[in-house]
């Protein structure tokens, strides 16, 4: 089983409005997440979580079917891995007492989790844009 968690040593992040913004410390690349992606990101912050647990929680939160949702979450996690924003490990750091990921209040509108890459923050600052 694979557990995903935020790469705390390399990523600084904040929640702004309903989305997260992140900066990778080594590459200075900066990113944003939509609301669904931010919910997943918050679940990845405290300890490792599996893609299966995320999918189960998202199904309950949005009352969705498993197939497409699981693929969207796996694709999202892969994108985070490719950008070195999360780590994948074989062990948990700690266990949630309920054994379940909590992704916030129920919402009626679902959008697939999305990561947007904006480039390097250093280049943007130096360009004066």
CB atoms under 10 Å from CB of 73, counted, come to 23
- Please, what is the average pLDDT of the chain? 83
pLDDT greater than 50 at residue 97:
no
Mean pLDDT of 101-119: 74
Tell me what pLDDT residue 123 has. 62
- E strands present in the chain: 3-6, 11-16, 19-24, 29-33, 86-89, 115-120
Poorest-pLDDT segment among 22-26, 40-44, 99-103: 99-103
Tell me what pLDDT residue 106 has. 47
128 φ/ψ sector (left φ>0, alpha ψ -120 to 50, else beta): left
Tell me what pLDDT residue 126 has. 58
Q: How confident is the model at residue 67 (pLDDT cuts 50, 70, 90)?
A: confident
Under 8 Å between Cβ of 120 and 75: no
From residue 71, give the alpha-carbon distance in Å to each of 7, 12, 94. 22, 27, 26
Mean pLDDT of 17-30: 92
Mean pLDDT of 67-95: 88
* 38 three-class SS: helix
Tell me what pLDDT residue 33 has. 96
Tell me what pLDDT residue 107 has. 56
Tell me what pLDDT residue 122 has. 59
Q: How confident is the model at residue 127 (pLDDT cuts 50, 70, 90)?
A: low
């Amino acid at each position: 089983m694979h557990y995903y968690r935020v790469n705390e040593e390399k990523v600084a992040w904040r929640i702004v409005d309903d989305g997260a913004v992140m900066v990778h410390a080594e590459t200075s690349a900066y990113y944003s997440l939509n609301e669904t992606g931010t919910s997943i990101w918050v679940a990845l912050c405290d300890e490792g979580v599996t893609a299966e647990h995320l999918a189960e929680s998202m199904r309950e939160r949005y009352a969705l079917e498993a197939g497409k949702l699981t693929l969207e979450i796996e694709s999202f996690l892969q994108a985070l891995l490719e950008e070195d924003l999360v780590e994948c490990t074989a062990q948990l750091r700690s266990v949630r007492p309920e054994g379940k990921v909590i992704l916030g209040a129920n919402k009626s509108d679902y959008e697939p989790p999305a990561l947007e890459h904006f480039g390097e923050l250093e280049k943007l600052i130096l360009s004066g844009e």
